[in-house]
Structure 1
Amino acid sequence: MKKITVRYFASIREAVGAGQEVVETAAATLGALRDELIARGGAHAASLARGKAVRIALDQTLSDESAALPDAAEVAFFPPVTGG
C-alpha cells in the first residue's frame, strides 16, 4: 500500500468538504486512484465521476490518468479552469 496526499480544489473541494486528505491506496495509476475515490460513493462519486471534466496533477504537474502513481506522491484534482 502507498500513502499519498490527495488535494481537492474549487468545486471539488466544496463538494468533498475537505481541501486534502492522506489516502492509503494500492492504485498503480492516477486513473485507478480516481476509480477508488469514486467507489467511496457520495460526494467523491459525484464530483469525480467518469464523464465529468476533471484535471489531475501529480506532484504539481498536469498528468494523464495513465501516469504511474508513486509512493508519497501528491495528487490534486480540480475542474478545468476557464478564463475570460
Structure 2
Amino acid sequence: MAEVLVRYFAAAEDATGLTEEHVTLAEPTLGALRADLLARYGAEMERVLRSGSFLVDAVVSRDPARRITATVDVLPPFAGG
C-alpha cells in the first residue's frame, strides 16, 4: 500500500470538488490511480482524463505502468500553444 498526494486543477478540480487529497493505492501506478479516480468520480472525471494528462512526480506521463512515489497532478487539456 502506498499513499500519494493527488492535486487537481481546473476541470479536474470541478469534477472532484477538491483541490487535493491523499489516495491510498494497493499498487502505486498511474493505471491504478486512474482506475480509482474513475470509480470514485465517474463520468466527470472520465471526460477530464480522456484528453488531460498527469504530472507524476514532476514528469508528464500517460503510461499506466508509471510508478508513483509521491505526488500526481491531474491536469485538464490546455488550449493554445
> How many residue pairs align between the two structures?
79
Q: Report if the CA contact (8 A) 2:2-2:28 is conserved.
A: no
CA RMSD of aligned residues (A): 1.9
Matched residue, 1:68: 67
Structure 2: gaps spanning 5 or more residues: none
Aligned residue among 59, 75, 78 for 1:78: 75
User: How many Å separate the matches in 1 of 2:75 and 2:58?
Assistant: 12
**Could you say which residue in structure 1 is the equivalent of 2:29?**
29
In 2, Cα distance between equivalents of 1:47 and 1:67: 23
- When normalised by structure 1's length, the TM-score is 0.79
Residue 8 of structure 1, CA deviation: 0.6
SS at match of 1:52: helix
Give secondary structure in 1 for the equivalent of 2:13: helix
TM-score with structure 2 setting the length: 0.82
Show structure 1 runs of 4+ deviating over 3 A.
none
Equivalent residue, structure 1, for 2:51: 53
Distance 2:31 2:45 in 1: 11
Cα deviation digits, residues 40-62 of structure 1 (max 9, x gap) = 2xxx2223327721201111210
